[in-house]
């Protein structure tokens, strides 16, 4: 399996970026907004969920709802929306309902004791209710609706046992449930491992997924490795695309679609996070292009316009 670092080098030599920018958020009192959901529409208005956090704090986030203001980059906080107690929010639509999820962190005596994914659903962003959670100590769970109404679920276990067994820092699994009420920690925990996702000492997870055709699902995610500069460890996060056969549990295609060098410069929460692009997802545009959104350096949210990486698979 070709290391992701090599894939990145090849991408950097041939990348084609048509446009890039940084999102601006109003109403957050100077706090950072990053690792957002993709934008989505409701009753003629465009919205986005964003993780909001002080620069000097860590895993002490809430998620706000923002509405589109102007010129593709400016977003304004929705004042009548109660903040969700999650970080790294994501959205999808299942059975006509909006599904919103994110990581809920539990602190005990000032230290992280546990975290899990919270799932909310509602007919609108203003009628969300918590309906399920993921397994303890698991982030990056994502859902996609299949053409027959069933629901695909990506999991992402990460622990020392996984590392010893597979050689990678995390793995991704996939399972299929009949209805949203079947989304339970047990079903997610038992999702079957997908082969060929990460190499030795790599890790990552899914961020957005959508059914393509037959048994294929397209996904945008992040794939990561540690770089070492002057004996200092720098985690590198890369925007990735995957095409997965969710019945055979195999990756049929994967490629780098974005790196931090594709986006404008932003501050970094820590100096060692300068090379982190945490994928949010993409929105289709005209002319076979997409706008790919990504959290940047745990401080901001950016976008790039690229060719649709799934155009030949649709």
Tell me the pLDDT tens digit for each residue of 219-231.
999 999 999 999 9
The β-bridge relationship of strands 74-77 and 24-26 is: parallel
pLDDT of 71 > 80? The answer is no
Helix (H) or strand (E) holding 14: helix 4-14
For residue 70, is pLDDT > 90? no
Residue listed under structure tokens 């299942």: 94
Pairing outcome for strands 289-296 and 277-284: antiparallel
pLDDT of residue 24: 96
pLDDT (average), residues 100-111: 92
Residue 261 is encoded by which pair of tokens? 């060098």
Q: Tell which residue, 241, 230, 243, 279, has the closest CA to residue 38.
A: 279
Confidence band (pLDDT; 50, 70, 90) for 118? very high
> Confidence class of residue 127 from pLDDT cuts 50, 70 and 90?
very high
Task: Tell me the per-residue pLDDT of 155-172, one tens digit each, with 9 for 90 and over.
Answer: 999 999 999 999 999 999
User: Per residue in 134-144, is it b (16+ CB within 10 Å) or e — as a string?
Assistant: bbeebbbbbbb
Task: Kindly give the pairing relationship between strand 142-145 and strand 74-77.
Answer: unpaired
- pTM value is 0.97
Per-residue pLDDT, averaged over 280-308, amounts to 97
Q: What is the mean pLDDT of residues 298-306?
A: 98
Segment 241-286, tens digit of pLDDT? 999 999 999 999 999 999 999 999 999 999 999 999 999 999 999 9
Contacts of residue 27, Cβ cutoff 8 Å, sequence gap at least 6? 64, 66, 76, 77, 79
pLDDT in tens, 196-215: 899 999 999 999 999 999 99
């Amino acid at each position: 399996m070709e290391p992701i670092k090599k894939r990145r080098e090849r991408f950097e030599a041939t990348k084609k970026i048509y446009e890039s920018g940084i999102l601006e958020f109003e109403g957050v009192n100077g706090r950072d907004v990053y690792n957002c959901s993709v934008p989505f529409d409701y009753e003629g208005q465009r919205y986005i969920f964003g993780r909001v956090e002080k620069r000097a704090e860590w895993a002490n986030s809430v998620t706000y709802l923002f509405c589109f203001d102007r010129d593709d980059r400016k977003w304004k906080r929705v004042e009548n929306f109660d903040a969700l107690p999650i970080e790294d929010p994501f959205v999808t639509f299942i059975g006509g309902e909006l599904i919103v999820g994110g990581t809920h962190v539990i602190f005990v005596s000032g230290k992280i004791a546990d975290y899990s994914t919270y799932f909310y659903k509602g007919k609108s962003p203003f009628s969300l209710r918590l309906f399920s959670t993921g397994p303890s100590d698991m982030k990056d769970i994502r859902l996609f609706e299949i053409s027959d109404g069933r629901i695909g679920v990506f999991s992402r276990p990460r622990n020392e046992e996984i590392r010893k067994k597979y050689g990678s820092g995390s793995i991704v699994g996939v399972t299929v449930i009949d209805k949203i009420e079947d989304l339970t920690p047990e079903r997610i925990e038992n999702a079957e491992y997908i082969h060929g996702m990460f190499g030795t000492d790599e890790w990552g997870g899914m961020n957005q997924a959508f059914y393509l055709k037959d048994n294929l699902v397209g996904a945008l995610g992040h794939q990561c490795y540690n770089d070492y500069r002057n004996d200092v460890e720098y985690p590198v996060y890369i925007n990735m695309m995957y095409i997965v056969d969710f019945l055979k549990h195999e990756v049929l295609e994967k490629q780098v679609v974005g790196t931090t060098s594709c986006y404008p410069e932003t501050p970094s929460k820590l100096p060692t996070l300068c090379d982190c692009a945490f994928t949010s997802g993409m929105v289709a545009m005209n002319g076979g292009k997409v706008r790919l959104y990504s959290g940047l350096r745990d401080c901001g949210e950016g976008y790039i316009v690229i060719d649709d990486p799934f155009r030949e698979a649709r």
